[in-house]
Amino acid sequence: MSWYDWLLGIDRRWIFLTIAIAVVIPFFAPLGLPVVVTPPVQNLYDAVEALEPDGKPLLLSIDYTPATSPELEPMSSGVLRHAFRKDIPVIVMTLHPAGYGMAESAILAAAEEFGKEYGEDYVFLGFQPGTSAVILGLGVNIRTVFPEDAYGTPLSELPVMEGIRNYDDVSLLITFAGWSAAEAWIYYAHQPSGQIVGAGVTAVMATDYYPYLDAGQLVGLLGGMRGAAEYERLIDRPDAGARGMDSQSVIHLIIILLIVLGNAAYFASRRARRLAQARGEI
Amino acid sequence: MTTLLLATVGAILTLCVYSFLYKDNPFYKFAEHLVVGVSAGYYLVIYTFNFIVPNVTDPVFTLNLGGEAIRLGGLDWWMALAPGLLGLLLYTRFFPKIAWIGRWPLGIYVGGYAGLGISPVMQARVINQLRAGATPLAGTPDPFANMTNVCLGLVIFIAVTYLLLVKRQLGARNTGAKVGIVALAALVGYGGYVALSALSGAGVVNLTNVMLVVGLLGTLTYFFFSMRHTGVLGVLARIGIVFLMVGFGASFGYTVMSRISLLIGRVGFLIDWVGMFFS
Amino acid sequence: MRSHFTIIAALAILATLAPAPAAAQEAGDLETVLPDTIPLDTTPPAPVTGLTVRDYVDNDDDGTKIELAWTPSPDDGAGAADVLAYHVWRSTTAGVVGDSVGVAGAGSATFLDETAVPGTDYHYGVTAFDGTSHSAPATAGPVRGVRNWFAVSRTAVLVLAVVFFALVLAFTQLAERGAELFVRRIPGLNAIEEAVGRATEMGRPVLYVPGIGEIDNIMTIASLTILSHVAKITARYETPLIVPTARAVVMSAAEEVVKEAYAEAGHPDSYNRDNIRYLSDAQFAFAGAVNGIMLREKPAANLYLGAFWAESLLLAETGFEAGAIQVAGTAMVSQLPFFVTACDYTLLGEELYAASAYLSREPKLLGGLKGSDWMKVVTIALVVLGIILNAVGVESFAEWFHTS
């Protein structure tokens, strides 16, 4: 058997095993590869950095589900920590029923870390179904969409919600989503109301969002775990994003190697077949 | 203790799912069905207490909308009751004789969403993109100039190599000549890079924006079906397909990154879980 | 200049914290809102006169702006020359001064309140303030902010929407009247026919996967049109056609389509109902089952046309390994990269709809396709015009498309 036939016919489980080993090793022997900050991430960081302490609140829509949380949870934690460190009031909500638990755990962890008080410094509005209708409704009156917070307290009893009526009273809006919710925020919050929107999306979605960045419809963009790692570097608080980047880099190298080998084997086998055809063997 | 217990349940389920990589087995099936069942129950609770109770039943039955009293038969009361009733009509599909009633709320729903969507989506995806596309081709700062020039240099290198080696069949039987031709192409490509850098450095032309416009026009032409793709149209369409393929390549790479991130996240969780037993 | 403003602002804040002007007692209508403690014994400035209020109107008036204008106090810059600022008060009840909505510096005669709730009647009051006490208020009202019916800055949306809808409707009308509308042949259709031909030569079946979308998904509908075309060819060559589906309704629709196509091709007996199969609603279970068909029944041509999600690569990869000719087509942009890498030919996005319109000549599909085609021409023309105007220094054209 020639090398290319062997390579093209290899049991894929060997590749799974290689990848698994390559993921695990950097957890125990970190390589500390550098993370370079890209402009879209820097822009989002700058937008949060420019907010006034105790000024208009930051609205975070934590729209991801457990399925995409490894990519998006480090982003939401990074932004929450950044906001709390700067004493910016935070309103958290979600457009996905499975985002409820994700949002709650992210905000509780960050609030505990910075000693923030519920109702005074931050609030969790919970979930409402209807994506576009919810986003449009928030532009008119937040109380008609969320009559009460996630725990049944009327918004009028929460100090952080005082004087908050619609997007005019919110400084910046950031969505973290592994589905089209991020696009919906651009359509229904940015376009009609001019609300400044930033987004954290999975790497799969990232390429689709560059046109919005280019047209100024997004103030900044975090794409995938790498975006999270860059944000963690900017706030100088490495965590889950940075931790995964070593494994990520190693695996990318392996995959590039596999692509090159795979292509070489493919062309070699095609060439061998053509030669055989020319000799009249097939 | 609870943390450890929950983490253990999570870890075992993760391992059940990953066992599929070896081959399909009952453990995987168990985990898959568990996810479907649990999420159905979870969604029911979330929808009920986050939506149905505060937005429908509380205002309609206890006249309480977000802590404020509303009037029975007032506008707020009707605005809570009417959509609730329309929603209930969807369940008429269980009774074949009156199933047609279900089309009414569905019609309102579909029509409403289409109406809500047309203007914002058109603004976001067409009009503002059109404005971004009508971009100045010179005289504006170009933060991506170097990247663009490197790419264009590479394109020149590949084009020259292709023209000489494949089209002209130069040095077909001579490995030394082939290396020479590749070296020559590399030199031409590098020369192109230097020349383009000088041009964009002097502010004569913003090559990134030129690429953007060429890509936009090419791609739009590729999806133009009312004329045959010959002549200028054919050239533009071919440029368009190159941009599309580059876009797909970027998208593919990002997807690999995404999937690997999910794996890393799970592996990190498993490692933390094992760590719990030692701390 | 800056420090001047700071002083005014500081004074304004102090004033709102404890404003208890002696004169307020005389102006009876202030009693209801101000505490009746007596601060420093000073003379308040003379009040402003001629206060007018009106709904402020601009291009994108959302009804939240009210404009105030007045004649400054005689003590502002003249007389006692002690006016530091004018305070603007707003209330929903006549005769009550209400809440402070802002401060205008000395010398100013106008103020724009941008915090009004549209449709609410307001009464405004303006007092001159000298640092310790307020003048009697000048009052005016009621006035209400009214939203514009038309947002001028979004004219572009209206114009382009009208153009687009008009194009689609016009082409649909033309098609319904039987006009010959030219649509170029999609190369992907040739690829599909070649693949089916290859399967016939090899005497192996054709596998047609119409995606996992529901029947209301426009991609599924386009796919069924193409399925009809494919079924006619397989009927003619008597090649088995296997159609696995993930939705019960799609299965019955596919049955109809294939049966009809076989009848039209003159081979109604060759139609095999068992080859149109329902496998599973669950995405990955469906993918697994289709993979099973590929490995067991060894189709020579795999056609994936319709709406696909994450199962796209699983299907296309297995088909590639099994050595089948594969043609895919979907408008799910995120799945296109996988089909492009693993298939011999891929119909990209709109090509799927174009192929379906080309084959069916259905007026609505044709109208939509031709309408969006000419909309592309409009877009290209606008972009090119924008670039040219930009180059000669006219930026207002591109800015006309700035809608937020």
Name which of A213, C398, A214 is nearest B211 in CA terms: A214
Angstroms from C404 CA to nearest CA on chain A:
5
Does the pLDDT at position A154 exceed 80? Answer: yes
What's the rounded Cα separation, in Å, for the pair C296 and C302?
14
Cβ–Cβ below 8 Å for A205 and C334: yes
What's the rounded Cα separation, in Å, for the pair B54 and A145?
10
pLDDT, chain A, mean: 90
Token representation of residue C309: 């999600």
- Structure letter (DSSP) for residue A177: E
Cβ–Cβ below 8 Å for A194 and C404: yes
Q: What is the pLDDT of residue C170?
A: 96
Percent of chain A with pLDDT over 70: 99
Q: Which domains does chain C have, with CATH numbers?
A: 2-143 (2.60.40.10), 152-171+368-399 (no CATH), 181-361 (3.40.50)
In sequence order, the 6+-apart residues with CB closer than 8 A to the CB of B223 are B240, C348, C349, C350, C351, C376
Helix pair C363-391, C155-176: axis angle to 10 deg: 140
Residue C402 with chain B: CB contacts under 8 Å: 128, 131
Cβ–Cβ below 8 Å for C387 and B138: no
Q: Are A17 and A86 in a shared domain?
A: no
Query: Which CATH number fits the domain that encloses residue A213?
Result: 3.40.50
Q: Radius of gyration (Cα) for chain C, nearest Å?
A: 37
Cβ–Cβ below 8 Å for A192 and C334: no
pLDDT band at A281 (very low <50, low <70, confident <90, very high): low
Give the number of other CB atoms < 10 A from CB of residue A2: 11
> Is the Cβ of A240 closer than 8 Å to some Cβ of chain B?
yes
Angstroms from B278 CA to nearest CA on chain C:
37
Q: Are A25 and A116 in a shared domain?
A: no
Q: What is the pLDDT of residue C84?
A: 86
Q: Are A140 and A261 in a shared domain?
A: no
The answer to whether the beta carbons of residues A121 and A111 sit under 8 Å apart is yes
Show which residues on chain B lie within 8 Å of chain C, measured between beta carbons: 24, 118-119, 122-123, 126-128, 130-131, 133-138, 213, 216-217, 220-229, 244-245, 248-249, 251-252, 255
Q: Are A66 and A204 in a shared domain?
A: yes
What's the rounded Cα separation, in Å, for the pair B262 and A224?
10
A10, A162, A168: best to mutate for the C interface, most C CBs within 10 A? A168
Cβ–Cβ below 8 Å for A194 and C334: no
Q: Are A137 and A271 in a shared domain?
A: no
Q: Which of A67-81, A113-127, B124-138 is least confident?
A: B124-138
Domain count, chain A: 2
Q: Are A151 and A62 in a shared domain?
A: yes
Nearest by CB: B50 against A19, A27, A126: A126
Per-residue pLDDT of chain B (279 residues; tens, 9 = 90+): 788 899 999 999 999 988 887 877 899 888 888 887 888 888 888 888 888 888 899 999 998 887 788 888 889 899 999 999 998 998 888 888 888 888 888 888 888 888 888 888 888 888 888 888 888 888 777 878 888 899 999 999 999 988 888 887 776 677 788 888 889 999 999 999 999 998 888 878 888 889 999 999 999 999 999 989 899 999 999 999 999 999 999 988 898 888 899 899 889 899 989 998 887
Q: Are A84 and A180 in a shared domain?
A: yes
Show which residues on chain A lie within 8 Å of chain C, measured between beta carbons: 168, 190-194, 204-205, 208, 217
Pairing of strands C138-143, C122-129: antiparallel
Give the number of other CB atoms < 10 A from CB of residue A53: 10
Token representation of residue C188: 């992907």
Q: Which residues lie across from A92 on neighbouring strands?
A: A60, A124
- CA neighbours within 13 Å on the CB side: how many for A81? 18
What's the rounded Cα separation, in Å, for the pair C283 and B79?
38
Instruction: ipTM value, please give it.
Output: 0.84
Place of tokens 């929603």: B87
What's the rounded Cα separation, in Å, for the pair C228 and C360?
9
For B24, name the nearest residue in chain C, comparing CA atoms only: C288
In sign, the C-alpha dihedral spanning B148, B154, B157, B159 is: negative
Q: Are A89 and A186 in a shared domain?
A: yes
Q: Are A94 and A113 in a shared domain?
A: yes
Q: Which of A72-86, A104-118, B220-234, C142-156 is least confident?
A: C142-156
Q: What is the pLDDT of residue C37?
A: 53
CA dihedral A51, A57, A59, A60 (to 10 degrees): 70
3-state secondary structure at position A97? coil
Per domain, the residue ranges of chain B are 2-130, 140-150+187-264
Angstroms from C75 CA to nearest CA on chain A:
36
Q: For residue B182, give Cα distances in angstroms to B169, B172, C135.
A: 13, 13, 88
Q: Are A63 and A181 in a shared domain?
A: yes
Where are the strands (E) in A24-71, listed by range?
58-62
Pairing of strands C66-71, C110-113: antiparallel
Cβ–Cβ below 8 Å for A190 and C404: yes
**What digits encode the pLDDT tens for the residues C140-175?**
878 888 888 888 888 888 999 999 999 999 999 999
Angstroms from C226 CA to nearest CA on chain B:
17
Q: Average pLDDT of A30-39?
A: 87
Cβ–Cβ below 8 Å for B46 and A127: yes
Residue A206 with chain C: CB contacts under 8 Å: none
Q: Are A75 and A183 in a shared domain?
A: yes
First to last CA, chain A: 17
**CA-based angle B225:B229:B235, to the nearest 5?**
125
For A14, name the nearest residue in chain B, comparing CA atoms only: B22
Domain hosting A23: range is 3-30+246-278
Which stretch, A38-47, A130-139, C151-160, has highest mean pLDDT?
A38-47
Angstroms from A168 CA to nearest CA on chain C:
10
Q: What is the pLDDT of residue C300?
A: 96
What's the rounded Cα separation, in Å, for the pair A133 and A145?
9
Nearest by CB: B137 against C183, C374, C387: C387
3-state secondary structure at position B279? coil
Residue B119 with chain C: CB contacts under 8 Å: 154, 157, 161
- Structure letter (DSSP) for residue A91: E
Residue C336 with chain B: CB contacts under 8 Å: 248, 251
Residue B135 with chain C: CB contacts under 8 Å: 387, 390
How many residues belong to chain C?
404
Q: For residue C154, give Cα distances in angstroms to A107, B127, B128, C60, C81.
A: 38, 10, 11, 9, 47
Cis peptide before C142 (omega within 30 of 0): yes
Per-residue pLDDT of chain C (404 residues; tens, 9 = 90+): 444 544 444 444 444 444 343 333 334 444 444 445 545 546 788 888 888 888 887 777 778 888 999 988 888 877 777 888 899 999 888 878 788 888 888 888 889 888 888 888 999 989 988 888 888 888 887 888 888 888 888 888 899 999 999 999 999 999 999 888 899 988 889 999 999 999 999 999 999 999 999 887 889 999 999 999 999 999 999 999 999 999 988 999 999 999 999 999 999 999 999 999 999 887 878 998 999 999 899 999 999 999 998 899 889 989 998 889 999 999 998 899 999 989 999 999 999 999 999 988 889 889 999 999 999 999 999 999 999 998 888 888 888 888 76
Q: What is the pLDDT of residue C45?
A: 85
In order, the DSSP letters of C57-79 are --TT-BS--EEEEEEPPTTSSST
**CA-based angle B72:B73:B74, to the nearest 5?**
90
Give the number of other CB atoms < 10 A from CB of residue C62: 16
What's the rounded Cα separation, in Å, for the pair B163 and B157?
10
